[in-house]
Structures are given as C-alpha cells and as structure tokens.
Amino acid sequence: MHCQWAEDVLYFRLAWGQIMNNASIGQFAPFQPRDRTFFLLMLTTIWAGIFAGFVPDVFEHFQGKHVSYALVVHLHAAAYVGWLVLLTTQMTLIRVGRADLHRKLGIVGLGLVLAMAVLGPWTAFVMQDRQFGTPDSDPPFLILQLLIVVNFTLTALAGLAFRRNAATHKRLMLIATILISGAGFARWIAGPIAKVLGSGFVSFYLQMYACSDLLLIAMGVYDIMTRRRLHPAYIMAVGFGVSNQIAVAWIYNLPAWKPIATQLIGH
C-alpha cells in the first residue's frame, strides 16, 4: 500500500510537470528576432526614467532643500544602480555571444538582490526618522518603501531560479527591474498627477505606478504581437506585482495606517 501511494505521488508529479512544461514553454517561442531590440529599448527607457527622477532630486539635496542623506542612502543607491549596470552588462553579453560570462555573473546578481533586500528597508526607516517633522515627512509612505522591496526581491529571485529557461528568466528579471523603476518615474510624474487628481487612492496609485505599469503593459503587448500569447511567468509576476501595488495604495490611504507607521519609525 505504501509503495502504491509513493507511485501515485510520483506519477502525479511527473504528469503535473509535463502539463506545466507544455503550457509554459511548448507554445511560447523562446526567441524572436526582435527580442533583443525590444528588451534593449525597455532597459533604455528605465535608465531614462531613473535619471530624470533622481538627478534633480540629488541636486536639490546638495542645495540643502531637503534633509541630508544618511550613509545608508549612498549604499542603497550604489546597490540599485549596480543592479541596473549589471542588467545592462548581462544584456550586452548575450548580444555579443558571451553567454558563458553572463552565467558566471549570475552570482553577482544574487548578491545584489540580497543586499537590496536589506538596504531598502534600512534606508526607509533611517530616512523616515530623519525627515520626521520636516516638510518631507510622510510616515504612511513607509508601506510603499517596504512592499516594493518584497515585490522586487521575490520576482528577481524567481528570475534567478529560472535562469536555465531563457524566456522565463529574462522576463522575470526585466519585470523585477520595472517594479523598482517606479521610484524614479514617480519623482517627476507625481507632481503633475497630484495637481490634476488631488489625493486619494487613484491619484496615489497613478503617481507611483503609472509609468512602470505602462512598461509592464508594453511587455505584454509585445509578446501578444510576436507570440500571440502571454508568457505564464509574465502573467504571474505582473499579477503579483500589481496586486502588491494596489495593496500599497490602499494601505497608504487608510487613516489607521499613519499612527502605526509613525510608531514604526520611532515617533
């Protein structure tokens, strides 16, 4: 009886694995001639959004318009920029046919993901404490700073776990990067949206995620145009990411969250 149960479990696992393999890989072309151009364009757009958002912000800090940066902010910035540099390097290596170096650098990606998972929340708590009582103070914003790290970390780790499946791997890695790129885009788009829509759930959501979500939509549209379907990894990652974003916007606007966030940052 025990042997029969073990055989049934093994059969189920093999059958389920075959179903998932057929559903996620068999019908989805792993490569398409325009992939390299599209993914490079997406990465270039992310770089542009980050520069447009953070460069003016850095200048304003150096001009004394905001509270000074803590040391952890510089470490945080180095890790996040390092991630973009690594992703750019990895794409370049694939373009020039150096998949061997691409694979070897994967360990660097894992290290950066783990470092960012620590530095992100650390930076959030330190700067929220420094900003408290100043015009920049916004304790409820802590929920975004924490959950965006969860969003990025889980998606990036999934991408690394599926590194042997090129179609899944590159989509998850790019989606993870898009999810954190909203921090740059929001710095230049939030003001105009707030002037038009004011405050509230919809306004906050669009301020924080409008641009990054457009990039996610562009990925889906591209796959439909080139493969006639969405990749299962895209569906799951974007579904998780957008659910996370909705939760952030909802919690941020909850009156009960502000005193909780204020207490969490030590005030």
* DSSP-assigned letters across all residues of 75-130: HHHHHHHHHHHHHHHHHHHHHTT-HHHHHHTHHHHHHHHHHHHHHHHHHHHHHHHH
Question: For residue 190, is it within any domain?
Answer: yes
Question: For residue 26, is it within any domain?
Answer: no
Question: For residue 29, is it within any domain?
Answer: no
How confident is the model over 200-220, as pLDDT tens digits?
Answer: 999 999 999 999 999 999 999
| Domain with 177 in it | 34-131+139-264
The span from the CA of 191 to the CA of 204, in Å, is: 11
| Cβ-Cβ contacts under 8 Å for 244 (sequence gap 6 or more) | 147, 148, 150, 151
pLDDT of residue 17: 47
pLDDT of residue 23: 45
- Regions of the chain short of the pLDDT cut 70: 1-27, 61, 63-65
Question: For residue 149, is it within any domain?
Answer: yes
Cα end-to-end distance, the chain, whole Å: 62
How confident is the model over 60-109, as pLDDT tens digits?
Answer: 767 666 787 889 988 999 999 999 999 999 988 888 888 888 888 888 99
pTM: 0.85
pLDDT of residue 177: 95
Question: For residue 198, is it within any domain?
Answer: yes
Question: For residue 38, is it within any domain?
Answer: yes
Question: For residue 28, is it within any domain?
Answer: no
pLDDT of residue 238: 95
Helix (H, G, I), strand (E, B) or coil at 133: coil
Q: Which two tokens stand for residue 213?
A: 């979500």
pLDDT of residue 24: 46
The span from the CA of 154 to the CA of 54, in Å, is: 24
What is the total count of domains within the chain? Answer: 1
Question: For residue 146, is it within any domain?
Answer: yes
pLDDT of residue 5: 47
Q: Which two tokens stand for residue 10?
A: 């093994």
